[in-house]
Amino acid sequence: MDGNGRWATQRGWPRLVGHRKGAERVKEIVNAAPDLGVKYLTIYAFSTENWKRTTEEVLGLMAIFSRYIEREADRMAAESVRMRFIGDRSMLNPRLQRLQTSIENRTATYDRLHLTVGINYGGRDEITRAVRDIARAVAAGQVAPGQITDALISQHLDTADLPDPDLVIRTSGETRTSNFLPWQAAYAEYEFTDTLWPDFTADHLAEIVGRFGSRERRFGGVVPA
């Protein structure tokens, strides 16, 4: 989800206004996803690199995340949405960590839509943490080097119990992947749109999902004649 700050700046408003508008847009996309056949939806809210932003913006974003979780908890439960978080939580404030754990526990049995939110998430950081875990297991004699496979690495990632993404959408005209799910998205289809996230509607999502449905996915193989 990219372009919140630019959306606000273009209108002469503070960047945090754009972030609040972006949080509202998440609601619409979450509502629309199940009807489009989307079972798993992962959104990138705050990267490991976003700490470089101003203190005011970072604190404002953390407050928005906390309010969103609090306000959406009842609706997520009512609509059978399971909510999870990926990323290193150790740098987040204790209150936000408690809210994350609370809504994860509360929605753990739901299955209509699996909503995953990346907060303090970075793909390289995730892989580094996974490698450290495996290295500790090797040092302890629990895993032999020859037993390290791509499946074992996947089991140590934040997304261990989630399927790999089929489709990755980046808004705001940027055409880079920005450290988002680099391991998991190895065979994903990508869509880049000029639309800023606060303007990205359910209709935009439906159009992109429709195009995805017509793609031929070979995963390195050849489709039989």
pLDDT 10s digits, 87-130: 999 999 999 999 999 999 999 999 999 999 999 999 999 999 99
pLDDT 10s digits, 162-182: 999 999 999 999 999 999 999
Active site residue 50: yes
Percentage of the chain modeled with pLDDT above 90:
95
In a domain, 144, yes or no: no
In a domain, 149, yes or no: no
Q: Which of 31, 50, 93, 179 is catalytic?
A: 50
In a domain, 194, yes or no: yes
Q: Is 11 annotated as ligand-binding?
A: no
Instruction: Show the 3-state SS of 43-108.
Output: EEEEECCHHHCCHHHHHHHHHHHHHHHHHHHHHHHHCCEEEEEECCHHHCCHHHHHHHHHHHHHCC
In a domain, 170, yes or no: yes
* Domain harbouring 66, CATH code: 3.40.1180.10
In a domain, 196, yes or no: yes
The mean predicted confidence, pLDDT, of the chain is 95
Q: Is 178 annotated as ligand-binding?
A: yes
In a domain, 138, yes or no: no
Q: Is 203 annotated as ligand-binding?
A: no
Global pTM reads 0.94
Q: Is 214 annotated as ligand-binding?
A: no
Q: Indicate the number of domains in the chain.
A: 1
Helix, coil or strand: residue 171 = coil
* Domain carrying residue 62: 4-120+166-213
Helix, coil or strand: residue 42 = strand
Give Cα separations from 65 to 26, 91, 135, 189 (angstroms): 12, 14, 33, 28
Half-sphere exposure of 111 (CA within 13 A, CB side): 1
